[in-house]
Structure 1
Amino acid sequence: AQVPARMADWVQRCQEAGLATLVLSNSFQDRVLGAVEQLGTQFIGKAMKPLPGGYRKACRQLGLHPQELVMVGDQTYTDILGAHLAGMHAILVQPLGSVDLGHTRLLRKLDRIILHKMPPQGEFPHDIYTL
């Protein structure tokens, strides 16, 4: 899978700033390996998000404590919930792609319902990819 240019640029700027980056995915490695190689980042697959085990493995792999990490994700029920269960901060972003699997489409509909009724706990003042 081709990584959108603005995402690849953002990850590169994070790395140049000395931030550790890691892709935590519920997918198998072969499904996202091309994207991970393009980003030049570490990877953990079959993470079973939102269960906290994958997040804890990321902490160990990076040598950091949960409170030192931020999950940037586009799914409330996997990325954001899992990060909070593992004791991490999280930033919810808009999905970059427009095609979702069936179960992801359903979760995104639930996201819209819940997020519409819930005020943000903290807003990022601009598009995260401009960092």
Structure 2
Amino acid sequence: MLEEFKPTWMVESIYSVSPEQLKARGIRAVFSDLDNTLIAWNNPEGTPELHQWMAELREAGIPLIVISNNNKKRVAKAVANLKLPFMSRSLKPLSFGITRARKKLGLAKNEVVMVGDQLMTDMLAAHQAGVRSILVKPIVQTDKWTTRMNRLIEKYVWRELRRHYPNLKWQEDLND
């Protein structure tokens, strides 16, 4: 059960993962959590680094799709400035949102990656969907109230992950 929370990669920031690194691993689409992964939960504008990374993905022909547990209205408002497609009410840690997005693109499981900042939702959903995952550090150290309970449980899961997988470490990028 513990391996269900183990990310494929742990990267400090998604912005350091290049389209070339993704393509070298056969990844043709990036699915991403929204809050504290792409944007700070309290700042929907995004950073210049995010906009640069999105432009690089677009130029490389790699779609970026937001997979969020939030409702459609909330996600639509949050991604309006980013002009990103999304799957709302994805029910993470279940695989529904990831699977719907993958099938919509007509891609195999090994051709997508799920990016997120939480073990309890994003990494578990990726495992449930049978896709690879990238865990990133949260953009800001505060969370919405709905995420705080997950963070408490996550501390215990982290302790066990580190005990069972002592080689788990944060990387600069996928080549590190």
Bucket of the pairwise TM-score, normalised by the shorter protein: 0.7 to 0.9
Alignment root-mean-square deviation, CA? 2.2
Alignment partner, residue 103 of structure 1: 146
Given that 1:73 and 1:91 are in contact with CA atoms closer than 8 Å, whether structure 2 keeps it comes out as yes
Which whole-Å CA distance do the structure 2 matches of 1:122 and 1:70 have between them? 18
Which whole-Å CA distance do the structure 2 matches of 1:5 and 1:104 have between them? 25
Alignment partner, residue 40 of structure 2: none
Mapping for residues 69-80 of structure 1, pairs under 5 Å: 69-80=112-123
Given that 2:75 and 2:86 are in contact with CA atoms closer than 8 Å, whether structure 1 keeps it comes out as no
Question: CA deviation digits over 1:2-58, x for unaligned, max 9?
Answer: 223322322222222221110011111221223323223211101111111111101
Which whole-Å CA distance do the structure 2 matches of 1:88 and 1:63 have between them? 14
2:132 matches 1:86:
no
Label 1:14 to 1:84 Cα distance change in 2 as closer, same or farther (>3 A).
Answer: same
| Stretch moving more, 86-95 or 32-41 | 32-41
Give the Å deviation of 1:124.
5.9
Given that 1:12 and 1:39 are in contact with CA atoms closer than 8 Å, whether structure 2 keeps it comes out as no
Label 1:87 to 1:9 Cα distance change in 2 as closer, same or farther (>3 A).
Answer: same
Give the Å deviation of 1:72.
0.6
Q: Structure 2 length normalisation: TM-score?
A: 0.64
More helix by share: 1
Alignment partner, residue 52 of structure 2: 9
Alignment partner, residue 101 of structure 2: 58
User: Per the alignment, in what secondary structure is the counterpart of residue 78 of structure 2?
Assistant: helix
Given that 1:71 and 1:91 are in contact with CA atoms closer than 8 Å, whether structure 2 keeps it comes out as yes
5+ residue gaps, structure 2, are 1-43
Q: Structure 1 length normalisation: TM-score?
A: 0.82
Mapping for residues 34-45 of structure 1, pairs under 5 Å: 34-45=77-88
5+ residue gaps, structure 1, are none
2:126 matches 1:126:
no
Which whole-Å CA distance do the structure 1 matches of 2:68 and 2:157 have between them? 23
Count of equivalent residues: 128
Given that 2:64 and 2:85 are in contact with CA atoms closer than 8 Å, whether structure 1 keeps it comes out as yes
Which whole-Å CA distance do the structure 1 matches of 2:146 and 2:75 have between them? 18
